[in-house]
Structure formats: structure tokens, C-alpha cells
Amino acid sequence: MKLLVPIILSGALLGCASSPTGSVNNGAERDRNNAKIGAIVGAVAGAIVGGQLDDDGNRDKGMIIGALAGAATGAGIGHYMDKQEQEFRDALAAEQRRSEIEIERVREDLLKLTFDNEVTFDFNRAEIKPSFSASLDKVADVMQKYQSKGEVVGHTDSIGSESYNQALSERRAASVVSYLTRQGVSSAHLSSSGRGEYEPRESNVTEAGRALNRRVEVFVTPAP
């Protein structure tokens, strides 16, 4: 019995290593990977709980139960995020066709929505354009439905001083949080921060690169 838990853990680790997040392309594959990750987490939790049963000689049993419970939880999170991702894609299909929003599955429990600042904000301003409010309404609707957490992060290009760009990125991220809150997303589930010019996606030498660097991102995760 004592050999079984290391086998479960090593199998889960090897399974995760052989299928990196970047190669996941469908819901079934995501669920399998989440089950493996959940098994690892569950086994560790089970070891802690199982330690309380040591007097009865049931430590290994506690670890196995924890691993199985963790696997089920991991698969559930994967399915939950699959459905949420699809709802974002369906709701924001027009915006995606116009290259106003990008939707990316960063990892099994994390979605990233990237908003083009040229569409969201006027130059050198932190007030959301009225024309973009309908798109943010759709984001708010999906987040409310799934009770998601969202971290909003602002970015700028390198034109202007570093301190000014940092402040502008923070104000823009805060504006998005404020708008989502007004649309019903729980303020307890939202946070904001700014990265200024420090995390460019492309070179700031060209206007095309600077345009890509001016953006706001929303990182969506399941609420605990």
C-alpha cells in the first residue's frame, strides 16, 4: 500500500510534463491535465490529513483519498473554465473579428482578455470610451454568471516619462475595475494594477509596436 501513493504522484507528474499547457487544444485534454494536477495537490493534502490518522495506521489511505478527491476537483475546474472561455468567445465574437479584444487561455485555471487601448481609451485619457461600454457589459455579464475573479492590469508604450506612464496605466486599470463594478461584478472579486511601459509585447521603436503595447488585460480566474 505504501508504494501506491508515490506511483500516483509520479504518474501525475509525468503526465503533466508530457502535455504542457501550451499544447492543450480541447476540453477533454484540459480535464485530463487538471485531474493530474488535482491529484498531486490532493495527495499532499491527503498526507496532511492522513497524518492525523497515523495511530490507526491509515496514513496511506488518507493520501489516496486526498489524491482521488483532488483529481475530481481538478477536472471540475477545467470544465468550468472551458465553459467560461467559450461564453467569452461567443459574447465577444464581433469584437474579436475587429481585433478589439484578444482571448487567451494562459493555463487551465486562467483566462486573459486583452483590450486594445485605442478602442477603450482616448489618447492620454483614463476614461473608458462610451463606444466600448457595450463590450465591457458583455465581459461583466460572463464574470457575474461564473462569479469569477479578475485582475485588471494596465500597460503603456514608452512615450513620455516612466513615472507618468506608470500612473496612466494604473488609472486605466482602475477605470475598468470601476466600470465592471458598476455593472454588478463584485468589488471583492476585482483588483487593479499598472505595469506602465515595463512589459511591452513588441518593440516601442515602431508605431505598430507601440500600439500593441498600449493595452489593458483582465486575468480571469475561478473564485475560491
pLDDT at 57: 55
Q: Does residue 60 form part of some domain?
A: yes
**85 falls within a domain:** no
Q: Residue 143 sits in a domain of what CATH number?
A: 3.30.1330.60
144 and 211 share one domain = yes
pTM (global) more than 0.75? no
Average pLDDT value for residue range 144-166? 96
Instruction: With respect to residue 87, please indicate whether it lies within any of the assigned structural domains.
Output: no
Last residue of a domain, one of 78, 107, 127: 78
Instruction: Indicate the pLDDT class of residue 190, thresholds 50, 70 and 90.
Output: very high
| Res. 18 pLDDT band, cuts 50 70 90 | very low
pLDDT at 223: 86
Higher pLDDT, 184 or 63: 184
- The pLDDT of residue 11: 47
Query: Which pLDDT score, from 0 to 100, does residue 49 have?
Result: 46
Same structural domain for residues 27 and 111? no
Q: Domain range holding 156?
A: 92-221
Q: Decide if pLDDT at 64 tops 90.
A: no
Distance of CA 222 to the CA centre of its chain: 8
* Extended beta strands in the chain, E state: 101-107, 110-116, 149-155, 190-194, 215-221
Mean pLDDT of 189-204: 96
Whether residue 84 lies inside any domain: the answer is no
- For the cut 80, the answer to whether the pLDDT of residue 215 exceeds it is yes
Question: At 107, is the secondary structure helix, strand, or coil?
Answer: strand
pLDDT(220) > 80: yes
Alpha-carbon distances of 15 from 32, 65, 71, rounded to whole Å: 9, 20, 13
pLDDT tens sequence across 90-110: 999 999 999 999 999 999 999
Contact 41, 74 (CB under 8 A): yes
Length of the chain: 224
Q: Which residue has the higher pLDDT, 162 or 36?
A: 162
Q: Provide the residue type at 34 as one letter.
A: N
Quote the CA–CA distance of 214 and 123 in Å, as a whole number. 10
CA distance 69 to 44: 11
Q: Which of 29, 49, 78 is the last residue of a domain?
A: 78
**pLDDT, mean of residues 175-193:** 97
Pair (153, 53) in one structural domain: no
Please state, as a whole number, how many other Cβ atoms lie within 10 Å of the Cβ of residue 7: 9
Domain boundary among 54, 78, 102: 78
Q: How do residues 108-124 score in pLDDT, each as one tens digit?
A: 999 999 999 889 998 88
Q: What percent of the chain lies above the pLDDT cut of 70?
A: 67
The total domain count for the chain is: 2
What percent of the chain is predicted at pLDDT more than 90? 60
171 and 126 in contact (C-beta within 8 Å)? yes
Residue 143 domain-assigned (yes or no): yes
Average pLDDT, the chain: 80
Same domain, 71 and 98: no
| Domain membership flag for residue 15 | yes
Q: What is the pLDDT of residue 96?
A: 96
